[in-house]
Amino acid sequence: MFSNELLRGLKKWRGSRRVTLRQIIDKLNDRCLFLRREGLYFVNQFLSAHLYSKYSHPKRRRPERAKLRAMSPRSITLALLAFPLFLTAAPAPTVATVAEAQAFMDRAEAELLKLGTLLQRAGWVQETYITDDTELLSASENEKLIARTTELIDEARRFESLNLPADLKRKFLLLKLSLTMPAPKDAKLREELTQVAASLDSSYGKGKYCPGGGKEPCLGIDDLDERLAKSRNTKDILNYWTGWHKVGAPMRTRYARFVELSNQGARELGFADTGALWRAGYDMTPEQFSAELERVWKEVEPLYKELHTYVRHKLIQKYGAEAERTDGMIPAHLLGNMWAQEWGNVYDLVAPPQAPPAYDIGEILQQRKTTPKQTVQFGEGFFKSLGLQTLPDTFWQRSMLTRPADRDVVCHASAWQVDLDRDVRLKVCLHGTTDDFITVHHELGHIYYYLAYRTQPFLFRSGANDGFHEAIGDAIALSITPEYLQKIGLIKTIPPPAADLPLLLRTALDKVAFLPFGLMIDKWRWEVFSGQVKPADYNKAWWQLREQYQGVAPPVDRSEADFDPGAKYHIPDNTPYVRYFLARIYQFQFYRAMCRAAGYTGPLNRCSVYGSKAAGDKLEAMLAMGQSKPWPEAMKRMTGDDRIDASAMMEYFQPLLTWLKEQNKGEKAGWTVAANPMKAH
Ligand SMILES: [Zn+2]
């Protein structure tokens, strides 16, 4: 009964392969990411949010030089042998009482808190002082926590049929849902699943392509994606794209087996399939959840279509016939990202002629010789202006704000709650750039969420659902406006609203362009897990969805000999994805709710809630709920609305939408999906 995150934790710690930083970063980008909480190798996503609290920053960053070292292969065997031991303890068929269930849960929470804290401490040391020893110590804590959690989930089955009070019932559900890869009870099948999952992950990790044939070095996905992002030579771009996508083909059979085994585990837990289990974490039925997503997609689709039309036109101007298709779709390799999921890397090709922003935060910080601590204090100042508390002294004593000169560390920004209480920390390597300034505000969003829900029972110390934590950090970062910068004395004059357009476009290339991709990944997986899509149609179904939602088409013919889903990290890695879609919509809802509370009435993209106690009250009331109530209640507490709603995002981008429509006059908007979605032209 262990989750994929558990396995991933083991695998990565245990050195079944080396993890490249690009994989981590890719993964963090989509989550922290976005549940990017799912930090470095793994762990914090591994037991839902509860057992390991760390969120990293969603923004794409350059790969760091720090090394992640391979670990002793001997320990893999130990871990695999260890699992069946816990699993033989099948629950005795005695009649349980509500009082027993309560006592069981109290003990379980106390125990998990203790083990989780030990793991966090080991994880912190490991990431801020990378050595073989710290990796092994951290792996060891990880293993203990996994083992105990596995037992507890199994023991909890005794209480399944009881009529429990709502809070207690919720805790049992949260415990059970911490398995994103449910495994069958049968020990042999369980072991097979472990191995298949590990080998898929490993195939991705070891994936290489040699773009220059034998003459140049072979590259992994981090280098290939970077080259694809920077190159403006279509022959090279196509070479990187097709080369990397070869990584999927050998995974196909194993992926099909993985789906079978994981589904069996889900059925044994009482779910229709693994996809249904994933959707059970949203306080509604899987069908309702799917329908809600479709509703929201329809709200943002007009904006996406205008952006698509505009970018397509610019790409055709740049690349000519190679970018043009009669059906209006964009060839998937030309958008500056291996998966065409975010398009910010082609900003230079689509930028409007307006003047660049009148200020550069990074330059200003450097001129003023702002120290890393002062940069973080700007962030703290933002939250204090909302009436939130001062950060604990230990935050300043224990955080890592710059790269140490004498040792390897993981520099990727992340926010920690080491004791699931007041011991919160930031780990980041600041250089005084604009990105750093935004990162600090974002990460402190996670920190203040931790501090607000720390008095909740252990299992409720988490975001209201897995889209909330990231959305909070991003909502705060949206408040970094010229007006805010003027108030804190970083700039003197506020540029006119017309100067906002380049920034809005740049933001949309990442946040809006991502939406259909964020949606289709799990749409594909839900269909695969439910059996609606059979292995013989894996690739066809993948491209059908990409074309339908994203309007992008394969640059070369594809077939069922390929397995393009395998070329996207989260598929072989088995990380649920729809949370990233949710976070991108929620952040604008949260932001608008705070702006309204602050009494702001201007254009939404110019709103900063800096200095508003009323906005802070709204924010804190929701943060303090943690995961104690169904997420619609948390949403309602802050926004007055109990559902996901894209109208705030649409309002934010309204000036851009107007401008795009103007630019797109005479262009045929949208696209038609090809009869054969795997055909290039
Ligand atoms: Zn984050």
Task: Note the pLDDT of residue 496.
Answer: 86
Task: Note the pLDDT of residue 73.
Answer: 33
CA–CA gap between residue 421 and residue 626 (Å, rounded): 13
Q: Which residues contact 131 (CB under 8 A, 6 or more apart)?
A: 407, 408
Catalytic-labelled residue, pool 57, 245, 333, 442: 442
Q: Reply yes or no on whether 547 is catalytic.
A: no
Q: Which of 181-190, 574-583, 628-637 has the lowest mean pLDDT?
A: 181-190
Cα(344) to ligand 1 centroid in Å equals 19
Contact 211, 236 (CB under 8 A): yes
Task: Note the pLDDT of residue 588.
Answer: 98
Task: Note the pLDDT of residue 317.
Answer: 97
Which residues, listed in sequence order, are joined to residue 55 by a DSSP beta bridge? 415
CA–CA gap between residue 322 and residue 96 (Å, rounded): 67
Q: How high is the mean pLDDT of the chain?
A: 86
CA–CA gap between residue 488 and residue 610 (Å, rounded): 9
Cα(44) to ligand 1 centroid in Å equals 12
Catalytic-labelled residue, pool 282, 580, 591, 600: 580
pLDDT confidence tier of residue 147, bands split at 50, 70 and 90: confident
Task: Note the pLDDT of residue 93.
Answer: 53
The CB density around residue 655, as the number of other CB atoms within 10 Å, is 18
Catalytic-labelled residue, pool 147, 323, 413, 415: 413
Contact 376, 401 (CB under 8 A): yes
Task: Note the pLDDT of residue 357.
Answer: 65
H-assigned helices in 531-557: 538-545
Q: Reply yes or no on whether 442 is catalytic.
A: yes
CA–CA gap between residue 464 and residue 471 (Å, rounded): 11
Catalytic-labelled residue, pool 570, 577, 598, 634: 570
Cα(238) to ligand 1 centroid in Å equals 32
Write the DSSP assignment of 197-255 as a string of letters: HHHHHHHHHH--B-TTTTSS--B-HHHHHHHHHH---HHHHHHHHHHHHTTTGGGHHHH
Please choose, from the candidates 239, 180, 176, the residue with its C-alpha nearest in 3D space to the C-alpha of residue 210.
239
Please choose, from the candidates 236, 324, 235, the residue with its C-alpha nearest in 3D space to the C-alpha of residue 681.
324
Please choose, from the candidates 12, 359, 105, 357, the residue with its C-alpha nearest in 3D space to the C-alpha of residue 4.
12
Structure tokens at 111: 């125990």
The one-letter amino acid code at 490 reads L
Task: Note the pLDDT of residue 55.
Answer: 64
350-383 pLDDT tens trace: 998 766 666 889 999 999 999 999 999 999 999 9
Q: Reply yes or no on whether 431 is catalytic.
A: no
pLDDT confidence tier of residue 505, bands split at 50, 70 and 90: very high
pTM, 2 dp: 0.86
Q: Reply yes or no on whether 633 is catalytic.
A: no
Q: Which residues contact 194 (CB under 8 A, 6 or more apart)?
A: 7, 80, 83, 183
Task: Note the pLDDT of residue 568.
Answer: 95
Catalytic-labelled residue, pool 38, 109, 143, 443: 443
